[in-house]
Amino acid sequence: MPDCRSSPDLPALRRRHWLLGALGACALPCTAAPAKAAATAALPRAAQVPGGIARLPLGAAATRPLAQAGEVPLLVVGNPSAWQALVGIALSTPPGDAHITVRTTEGGAARELHYAVAPKAYRVQKLEVPPTTVDLSAEDEARYQRERTHIDALTALYSEPLPPTLGMRVPTPGRRSASFGLRRVFNGQSRNPHSGMDIAAGTGTPVAAPLPGQVIDTGDYFFNGRTVWLDHGGGLLTMYCHLSRIDVQPGDRLATGQRLGLVGATGRVTGPHLHWSVMLNRVMVDPALFLPA
């Protein structure tokens, strides 16, 4: 389960479609050149490294091509003159050759599109802490595994319509206290890399949606504390952890800037902050890529 201590590779679960309702057509603008330029500017920055995003041109086609990484559907944006696939690259991906498959029509012939993943060295932090903060009791481990099963199914969702824009705003003001990809070593035991961005803020600071989205899950989890998940469409999900209060419920539709909860220190944390994760095609990617440079 995605949590603030790790970034596990999610299993290739069954593709499921959750239609978000009558929000209109699902494409980015596909006519005038100014609209196309605006849509391009709103895309996440490309970074073909573990934890980054590949932006792969697919060429022209009358209808939106279908792209997949293995069995996982990918977010395809653009217009009939120039489509491109946005591919989230898992932190565990080794450097070297990778590929996706592309079809111009459902059931049509597939072609492979290859791209290169470059290496990236993330920071390592070594800490000495009480053993009880590292090793889980049998009861806590059982709870964590139950929560992981639930979240793994949740994060396999792929919904339409697709997001109208991909440029995000920071969900809460504050200093970035821990960056994506940081690997912590507790008492000599290495943990999986940090799967999001930590933003230091006082308890009660409002947390707002960075893009329009639908609430697909809320809960109080062992590691993550009070948590909200938003679905923005096309396999793009965001997660907000350690909240002191949750102000939304599953099914709610939020506009950009609408409050979803308040910063807190629930779950396994040492102080108040927001842990913010961004998931694209079932893998956690660096949220900073979606923010203005």
212-251 pLDDT, tens digit per residue, is 999 999 999 998 999 999 999 999 999 999 999 999 999 9
**What is the b/e burial string over 82-106, where b = at least 16 CB atoms within 10 angstroms of the residue's CB?**
ebbbbbbbbbebeeeebebebebee
Give yes or no for a contact between 201 and 170, defined as CB atoms under 8 angstroms apart. Answer: no
52-79 pLDDT, tens digit per residue, is 999 999 999 999 999 999 999 999 999 9
Number of domains in the chain: 1
pLDDT of residue 145: 86
**In what side-by-side order are the strands of the sheet with 75-79?**
53-59, 82-88, 75-79
Beta bridge partners of 26: none
pLDDT of residue 108: 83
**Beta-strand pair 124-127/183-186:** parallel
pLDDT of residue 1: 56
pLDDT of residue 249: 98
Residue 40, domain extent: 1-293
Distance CA 44, CA 279 (A): 13
| pTM score | 0.82
pLDDT of residue 193: 79
pLDDT of residue 70: 95
| Regions of the chain with pLDDT less than 50 | 6-41
Give yes or no for a contact between 249 and 204, defined as CB atoms under 8 angstroms apart. Answer: no
- Report the CATH number that the domain containing residue 24 is assigned in CATH: 2.70.70.10
pLDDT of residue 37: 32
